[in-house]
Amino acid sequence: MYIYANPNPVAGNRTGDCVVRAIALALDMSWDDVYDDLCLIGKEMGDWGNKNEVWGAYLKQHGFRRYAIPNTCPDCYTVEDFCLDHPRGTYILGTGTHVVCTKDGNHLDTWNSSDECPVFYWEKGRDDR
């Protein structure tokens, strides 16, 4: 189920910062702290904080691991499907153009991204299956 969530401290700002929003929601951290952390890591890596390599390094520091979503139906497996398949836990999904946090079967976002198609996800503390 979709739940509106926007940790961005600027009222009404809801686009362009999905990486920061998703990570802040997943880690229960402030948007400001995540933004600052990603800027520092990005500076160290010589890249922007919203690049996959930068925020991926940040998630690894927080105990997350990345997993690919099987390419059996790349245009039909959606964020909503992922939530139904993962009713417990906290995940960060990447679609190629968007990043969204899911918690306990719900996706938290500033807009209903349930029809987006994820291509990978990050999960904290899971052993490989």
Phi, psi of 3 (to 5 degrees): -130, 125
- What pLDDT does 75 receive? 75
Residue 9 covered by a domain: no
Q: What is the mean pLDDT of each run of 10 residues along the chain (129 residues)?
A: 93 83 97 96 91 95 94 85 96 96 96 95 74
CA dihedral 69, 73, 75, 80 (to 10 degrees): -60
Measure the CA–CA gap between 74 and 118, rounded to whole angstroms: 8
| The pair of three-digit structure tokens given for residue 27, joined into one six-digit string | 């880690």
Residue 40 covered by a domain: yes
Residue 23 covered by a domain: yes
Question: What's the total number of domains in the chain?
Answer: 1
Residue 39 covered by a domain: yes
Residue 7 covered by a domain: no
Domain span at residue 96 reads: 14-124
Measure the CA–CA gap between 35 and 19, rounded to whole angstroms: 9
CATH number where 67 lies: 3.90.70
- What pLDDT does 129 receive? 44
- What pLDDT does 44 receive? 94
Measure the CA–CA gap between 77 and 102, rounded to whole angstroms: 15
Collapse the DSSP code of 41 into the 3-class scheme (helix H, G, I; strand E, B; otherwise coil) and give the result: helix
